[in-house]
Amino acid sequence: MIKDIILSFKDNLKQKSTNPFFGTLIIVWIIHNWEFIYNVFNFEKGKTLAQKIEYLKLFLEPIPFIKNLGVCVLITFIVLIVTFLLLNLSRLIKNISEKKLTPWIYKISDKNSIVLKSDYDLMKNERDLLSQKLEEERDSKLKLRTEINKLEERLGKNIDGEDLKMEFNYESEIDHILNEIKQNEKNLKDFNTLIDKIHNDELIEYPVFKDLLNFLLRYDVLKLKSKATNRDYRKYEFTSFGNQIKSEFLKRK
């Protein structure tokens, strides 16, 4: 019980002392009554207990005590008012220095080598805005390129459809494609290379096999699987029809 009372009193005293008013009041009271505090802790050795108590009673009598406390409160208000005025004056001087005086000095002394923070922030915001717009343009361009590739693939599958039907009147579609592949050594070698690369899921350099790849894509033998960061390198895979072509090619090899 006593311990709780002591802890409560201690916490209350700590809270009051951290308050600007009460903290200042305590300091003012101590300074104003330093003689009383000194005597409390340093009574003359010849003083009896009754004399000490009588001395304390004189100081703590209601009228003198209230009068003394009133003076301390008045001084506390004056100190706080002066302190707040000085703080605001200091803040005013600092703001004037940062907002008015410093930019003016920079402009006079060396406006070329020193950039004001406001100018720097403005340029930084403009740079960030331009970077964002550039990124959006890149995304739009990438989406547009993807759509174009899809259209090119569809177009490659449908070109000359009617002409192909006439050509296949005297030979089967598979025979026609195999004959086109085997008609020269380059196509034959390239097709063997493509079979190995597709089987191993390797990237294929489009410019190297461009003619043969376009032919195989046109006849739905191959289809695009994916593209690398370097758009010249791509992965392809055989269609179901392409697997028939591959099987027949390996059989006749």
Residues 29 and 49 in one domain: yes
- Kind plus residue range of the DSSP H or E element containing 235: strand 233-238
The better pLDDT of the pair 121, 103 is held by 121
Q: Is the pLDDT of residue 42 over 60?
A: yes
Spatial separation of the C-alpha atoms in residues 176 and 167, rounded to whole Å? 8
pTM here? Answer: 0.34
205 three-state secondary structure = strand
Residues 181 and 221 in one domain: yes
Spatial separation of the C-alpha atoms in residues 237 and 221, rounded to whole Å? 9
The pLDDT of residue 239? 92
Residues 228 and 242 in one domain: yes
Range picked from 10-19, 48-57, 94-103 for highest mean pLDDT: 94-103
The pLDDT of residue 53? 72
Q: Is the pLDDT of residue 111 over 90?
A: no
> The tokens 């208000």 sit on which residue?
77
Q: Which among 96, 126, 158 is the end of a domain?
A: 158
Residues 236 and 179 in one domain: yes
Residues 9 and 96 in one domain: yes
Asked if 153 and 213 touch (Cβ cutoff 8 Å), the reply is no
How much of the chain, in percent, has pLDDT values that exceed 70? 75
pLDDT band for position 77 (50/70/90)?
Answer: very high
The pLDDT of residue 140? 84
Per the rule left: phi > 0, alpha: psi between -120 and 50, beta: everything else, 224 is beta
The pLDDT of residue 99? 78
The pLDDT of residue 86? 92
* Closest C-alpha among 39, 79, 73 to residue 59: 39
Among 25-29, 175-179, 227-231, the range scoring the smallest mean pLDDT is 227-231
Q: Please state the rounded mean pLDDT for residues 3-28.
A: 68
Q: Please state the rounded mean pLDDT for residues 113-139.
A: 81
The pLDDT of residue 31? 84
Residues 147 and 99 in one domain: no
Q: What is the mean pLDDT of the chain?
A: 79
Residues 91 and 41 in one domain: yes
Give the CATH number, domain containing residue 237.
1.10.10
Total structural domains in the chain?
Answer: 3
Residues 99 and 48 in one domain: yes
How much of the chain, in percent, has pLDDT values that exceed 90? 8
The pLDDT of residue 112? 59
Among 101-105, 156-160, 208-212, the range scoring the smallest mean pLDDT is 156-160
Q: Which among 158, 190, 222 is the end of a domain?
A: 158
pLDDT band for position 229 (50/70/90)?
Answer: confident
Residues 122 and 87 in one domain: no
Residues 29 and 94 in one domain: yes
In sequence order, which residues have a C-beta less than 8 Å from that of residue 20 and are 6 or more positions away? 80
Q: Is the pLDDT of residue 237 over 90?
A: yes
The pLDDT of residue 6? 58
Q: Please state the rounded mean pLDDT for residues 49-64.
A: 71
Residues 52 and 90 in one domain: yes
Question: Domain of 128?
Answer: 115-158
The pLDDT of residue 174? 84
Residues 144 and 225 in one domain: no
